[in-house]
Amino acid sequence: MADEVVCPKPELEERCKPRCVKYLLEYEARSACAERIKNDESGEAHCTGQYFDYWRCVDKEERVFDREEVLGRDVASVFPTKAAKADLENRAQVFKALFGDDKRFVTESELREIQEATQRRDGADADDGPQKPLAEILREAKEKKEQAFQEGWREMKTGKNRPLTEDELQFFDTLAEAEALKRRRENEEEAAELDAFRRAREQEQARAGEPPSGRQDDGVMVKRRKALAAVVRAAPKAAAASHTGQDPDDSDPAPTLGGLLGGYSSSSEDEA
C-alpha cells in the first residue's frame, strides 16, 4: 500500500466531500484495486495495479425526536374549536398521506419536511426559523399582561398629581369655551326678554293713560297698602261691639262684688 492515497476519480471526491460536510454524513473507508484485467484462458481476474484506499459517503444514522417536544403543541389542539378540529383533521390526513399511519416519533428528515410544509401552509418563510412552541407563546402573553398591569399600577399611584397631556388640556379648553359661549347666549336671551317685557309694559301703560312707573308711584302704592291694613285691623273691634248690643262709647263697667260691700273694713268690725 502506498504512503499517499490518491483517489482514482478526483471529480467524484470533489463532489463527495462538500456533500458530506453539508449534510453531516460520514466517510467509509474501502480498499480497491486501481486496475483489473481479466484472463481469457482461466476466466480469473488478476490485479495488475496497486491497491489503494478511498472514501465512500454513507448517510449518517438519523436521530429520532419527540414531535410535541420539538415543535410544541399547537394552540388549536389546546383550545379546540370547530375550525381547529377541521384543521387538525386535515393535518392528520396530510401526515398520514406523507408518512403513513400517525405516529408520535419522527425522524430528522420527516421533522424537517413537516416544518417546511407547515411554514408553506402558514405563509411563513423557511429562513424565519422554526415556529414558536405553545409554551413560548403563553410565556410571551403572560409577560405582556404583567407589563400592562405594572404600567396601569404606576399610573394609578401617580393619581391626581399626574400632569395633564396635550390632548387632555385641549379637551378641557374646549369644554371651558363651550360653557362660556352657553352662558353668554343665556345672558343675551335674558336681556332681550327683559327689554321686550319693559317695552310691552310701557306700551300697555301708554294705551291706558297711566304715568310710567317710577319711584313716586311705588311710594303711593306703599301708603295705600298701609291705609288698607289699618282699615282691616280696625274692623274686628267694631264687629265685636255690635255683637254685644252695646254702644262702643259706653265705658261704664258693670257692678261687681267689691262695689256691693262698699266701705266695709276690718276696723269697723273691731269697733263693734
What is the tens place of the pLDDT at every residue in 228-269?
555 445 445 544 455 555 554 555 555 555 555 555 555 555
| Cα 218 → chain centroid | 67
- Judge whether 124 and 65 are in contact, CB under 8 Å: no
- Judge whether 1 and 51 are in contact, CB under 8 Å: yes
For 11, 95, 112, 118, the CA distances from 57, given in Å and listed in that order, are 14, 30, 22, 31
Of the candidates 64, 74, 69, 63, the residue with the CA atom closest to the CA atom of residue 118: 74
Q: Give the Cα-Cα-Cα angle 47, 50, 51 (nearest 5 degrees).
A: 90
46-60, 66-80, 93-107, 109-123: which range is least confident on average? Answer: 46-60
- Judge whether 99 and 106 are in contact, CB under 8 Å: yes
| Cα 5 → chain centroid | 75
What are phi and psi for residue 28, nearest 5 degrees?
-120, 125
With cut-offs at 50, 70 and 90, classify the pLDDT of residue 152.
confident
Residue 63: predicted pLDDT: 78
Report the SS3 class of residue 257.
helix
* pTM listed for this prediction: 0.22
Residues 132 and 115: their CA atoms lie apart, in Å, by 11
Helices (H), 163-265: 166-208, 215-244, 257-261
Confidence check: pLDDT of 193 > 80: yes
